[in-house]
Structure formats: structure tokens, C-alpha cells
Amino acid sequence: MEATGLTDILMEAGLVGSGTIGRIVNRKNYSRASASHKTVLEALQRLIVEAVLESRNETSVFESLPVDSKVDLRSITLTCPPNKEDLDEAFKVEAIAAYIEAYLEFKKRIRNGSLNKTAQFWTSHMDHVCPATE
């Protein structure tokens, strides 16, 4: 993991100190490593969501959704992997389904290398930290 820049990201973000990073890389501090990976995962997911919004010519997350749909989405986005029952319910709302499908399609394009190798690598990292439910 050292050549990936992950250690630099974690230290620059202030998530871990120089003494902790060695234990994370050597798998000796599971709880800190898990928390660090989840934080990086969330940051990467946010970048994808921003790119999806840009492709939909929108400026804020889910701006076209009714208020009750936004509440439903909170339970999906805060769990890793998302609860299958919550996803099934979300897909019943057409507007939410469109967002989820756009997100998954964009992530698939990244995985297939349509953007660049760096994005493809970090998407692979996301898949390892939070296995896909696709």
C-alpha cells in the first residue's frame, strides 16, 4: 500500500500520525486501519457523486428529489454495504433509482478504465474496502 499514496493521504488529512501509520500498513492496528479506509471510501464516493451530479447538470446532491426521498437515501448512504431491503425500497422511487443507476454506471465506467488509471485503481480500492452489492 505504500506506493499507492494512501499513507500520505491519511497523514496529510490528519487521520493518523506517523507512529500509527506503520502499524496500519503492517496490519497491527485493525480498528484504526478500518476507520481510515472507511474515511477514504467516503471521500472517494463523494468524488463520484460530484462527477455524477456534474454529468446531470446539477449543483447539489439530489436537488430534484422530494424531501421524503432524501430521508430514505440517508439510510442507504450511511451503511457499507447498503442494506438490501433499503436498496429495494429506494429503487421503488423512480427519481432515487435514476440517481443510483447513474452512480453505478459511472463507477462501472471508471472500473473499465474510461477515465484514467488512477481513478481505476482507487475504484478497485473502494471495492475491496466495501464489497459491491451490484
* pLDDT tens digits along 90-106: 778 787 788 888 888 99
> CA 80 to CA 9: how far, in whole Å?
21
pTM: 0.69
pLDDT at 88: 81
**Which residue has cell 462527477?**
51
**Which residue has cell 499513507?**
7
Q: What is the mean pLDDT of residues 48-75?
A: 73
DSSP letter assigned to residue 74: H
Say what angle helices 94-111 and 84-91 make with each other, to 10 degrees.
120
pLDDT at 51: 87
Residue 109 has pLDDT above 60, yes or no: yes
Q: Where are the domains of the chain?
A: 41-129
Question: pLDDT averaged over the chain?
Answer: 76
Phi, psi of 114 (to 5 degrees): -75, -15
pLDDT band at residue 31 using 50, 70 and 90 as cut-offs: confident
Cβ(85)–Cβ(91) below 8 Å: no
> CA 37 to CA 133: how far, in whole Å?
18
For the four alpha carbons of 19, 21, 27 and 31, in that order, the dihedral sign comes to positive
Residue 65 has pLDDT above 80, yes or no: no
Q: Which span out of 28-32, 50-54, 79-83, 87-91 was modeled with the highest average pLDDT?
A: 50-54
